[in-house]
Structure 1
């Protein structure tokens, strides 16, 4: 469905450009954008690789395990349906840790694995469980302590102070995460109060 939407937007824009005589500008933008995308991706590879390596070192050093223990009370509160010691908890912690360091690309595989484990807990039903909805809300809001990818982009475009966004990013993502959790709980308890069960 998403692919159809993107294709539709592309063709509509192309048709409007043709009618308004802006095809030259559109073609130029396409090739310029493609070139910039390649340059940005190559520039981000080093940053993402560095932080993935740091996370691997943290995992081998037992830091992620410690973080998992620190986050355990929070995870238990947020995901009461998940049994203690279930593999989904480890994936959720890894997903949250990657998001905290602004590594959305690294967080995505962990989020997918967590969702697969949560689906197994939900007896492979097509309807999302309470924990699946909560994970999606938290992953989307994703509190970020170090916006690695954005800092890398600012460096790529020669920002004078690429790290000056750290404090505002922490505040903004903290607000979005708290908002996501509150909205998730609001609709959950509203559904329960109507006698419709879980999500």
Structure 2
């Protein structure tokens, strides 16, 4: 479905650009965006290598286990289908911690790692699990204890004046998101039929 959306956007931009006589601008924007995408991808590789390495060191040193024990009551309630000692849990805990501290670039590779590990627990690879949806919601609406420096710079204000409003706003968004996920997951429309689940278990 997403491929159709992107194709539609590209087709519309080309058609509108041709009608308005700005097809050269469309071509130039496409080339410029391609260069930006390559630069971003290469930069992300370095960040992912750094933080996945740090996560591995943290796991070996027992730091991840210590953090997981502290937040275990919350994570067990949020992700009941994920074993507490599973690598997905540690990646999610670190991702949420990075987001809370405003380290968006650091949280990205940890979020990708968490989704990869959650996919290993997914009996239906073509369908997102409740844990995946919950994690995506928390990752998107994460509580922020420290506002990212880029946001502070754009707004041109002292970060201290945004501390309380940031916590309140992001807490409300996270609570609303998690509540929506939990409620929607209980609706029959979003439940995986029991027959499919049984067939998947038999195929294993």
TM bucket normalised to smaller: 0.5 to 0.7
Q: Does the CA contact (< 8 Å) of 1:98 and 1:107 recur in 2?
A: no
Distance 1:36 1:11 in 2: 21
- 1:9 paired residue number: 9
- Change in 2 beyond 3 A, CA 1:169/1:37: farther
Q: Distance in 1 between matches of 2:48 and 2:125?
A: 35
Which is bigger in relative contact order (C-alpha 8 A, separation at least 6)? 1
Local SS of the residue matching 2:65: helix
| 2:120 alignment counterpart | 116
2:78, 2:61 → 1: CA distance? 27
Q: SS of 1:8's equivalent?
A: helix
What does 1:114-193 align with in structure 2 at a 5 Å threshold?
A: 114-117=118-121, 119-120=122-123, 124=124, 130-144=130-144, 154=150, 164=159, 167=163, 172-188=169-185, 191=187
Distance, in Å, in 1 between the alignment partners of 2:46 and 2:84 is 37
Taking the TM superposition and a 5 Å limit, the aligned residue runs for 1:73-112 are 73-82=73-82, 85=85, 89-90=89-90, 92-97=92-97, 99-100=99-100, 101-102=103-104, 103-112=107-116
Question: Which ranges of structure 1 fall in alignment gaps of 5 or more residues?
Answer: none
Q: 1:48 offset after TM fit, Å?
A: 4.6
TM norm structure 2: 0.65
d(CA) in 2 for partners of 1:77, 1:176: 18
- Work out whether residues 91 and 110 of structure 2, in 8 Å CA contact, stay in contact via their aligned partners in 1: no
Q: Counterpart in 1 of 2:197?
A: none
Contact 1:98 1:104 in 2 (8 A): no
Partner deviation per Cα, 1:11-51 (whole Å, 9 max, x = no partner)? 11101100110012112222222333334444555555444
Unaligned segments of structure 2, at least 5 residues: 192-204
> 1:170 Cα deviation (Å)?
5.5
